[in-house]
Amino acid sequence: MRILLGITGGIAAYKAAGLLRAMSELGHEVTALPTQNALRFIGEATLEALSGKNIDSDLYGDVASVRHVQLGQEADLIVIAPATAAFLGRYAAGIADDLLLNALLASTAEVVVVPAMHTEMWQNQATMENVETLRSRGIRVMEPASGRLTGDDTGPGRLPEVEDIIEFLFASSPLTGKTVTVTAGGTRERIDDVRFIGNRSSGKTGIALALAARDLGAKVRLIACNLAQTPKGMDVTHVESVADLSAALQEPSDVLVMAAAVSDFQVTNPRKGKLSRSTVPELKLSSTPDLLAAYTKQFPESFAVGFALVDQEEDVINASRSKLETKGAKIVIGNSISSLEGSDTVVQYVEADTEAEISGTKDEVAREIMSRVAAQLS
């Protein structure tokens, strides 16, 4: 998930470093956007080191790229922590006098505000009215914690601990509390110790689906078939062959997304060592087991999502509906070979009685698929 972390000018700004690190370690892409006043409490170098990105809070910097709009439009989630009383007032009034407020007003992403201030400021009627105004617009406002404040004061107004903020951010996500297993990549079947039968799967679709499930709050287990790079924020099991994948699928899961390209054939007589060019082997092939059908039979309570890749001449919807019946899946995502190339794709989301076409980038399509799955589970 692409998260924009806004940091405003309060003493609790130093805690934003821990929040930035925590969200990054969960696998999210976090961009820190401190206000000019926030930089009085926390340094640019700290935020740059933790985010891996340059920090520039100048509204009039890089005007040609329309950065104030770009920051808001690219974010999937905007978190303001800490949010001062002054920020709450300007945001509630729709005042855009710095880069952060401009980005907020230019965005349609979900916004979470985490206030931090002295008790008297938090309980002031003006602050309370500003908070209610923001909540009435669909903005999530987290209640501050009670405890030691600046100086000798204690009471409500303290910035919550990082763990509590993380829980608040993601606890209400559609797949919170669900386990989602995603298979990605392509299996390989040995010919000898060097060569194999494989396929052209890059694993990009499977990874996009795993990220989408993670961003919706699920505990994700990614079974990576011959993938060198895998994302953060999920458990990863690396496998090579169909047999390895079958062994990895012996655990139940609330949702199984079978996006890996599983070989239909395996070599029954693999050779040891490396075959010589002068010796042309006669390969004997046998069919591999149907892993999706086996999984749904073993774990019928799991919500299984299968995939159907067909030739251009075949009817995608009919082929997908046929797999629904034979494999025990709840959903089959159908696409044709022509959709394999490029970053954009078109798929058919097929269930027992209905179907829908989903198009866009692989990331966009993955998010739409997982959102539909989450809606059906709820």
Q: Respond yes or no: is residue 199 known to be catalytic.
A: yes
How is 2-62 classified by DSSP, letter by letter? EEEEEE-SSGGGGGHHHHHHHHHHTT-EEEEEE-TTGGGTS-HHHHHHHHSS-----TTTT
In which region does residue 70 sit, left (phi positive, over 0), alpha (psi from -120 to 50) or beta (all else)? alpha
H or E element at residue 345 = strand 344-350
Catalytic residue among 199, 226, 318, 335: 199
**Residue among 239, 256, 261, 257 at smallest CA distance from 248:** 239
C-alpha span between 236 and 184 (Å, rounded): 11
C-alpha span between 355 and 332 (Å, rounded): 10
In this structure, the number of other CB atoms found within 10 A of the CB of residue 136 comes to 9
3-state secondary structure of 306: strand
**Residue among 254, 337, 262 at smallest CA distance from 293:** 262
**Tokens at 195, concatenated:** 């060569």
3-state secondary structure of 333: strand
C-alpha span between 149 and 133 (Å, rounded): 26
Up-side HSE of residue 313: CA atoms within 13 Å toward CB? 0
**Residue among 315, 301, 304 at smallest CA distance from 348:** 315
Catalytic residues: 199
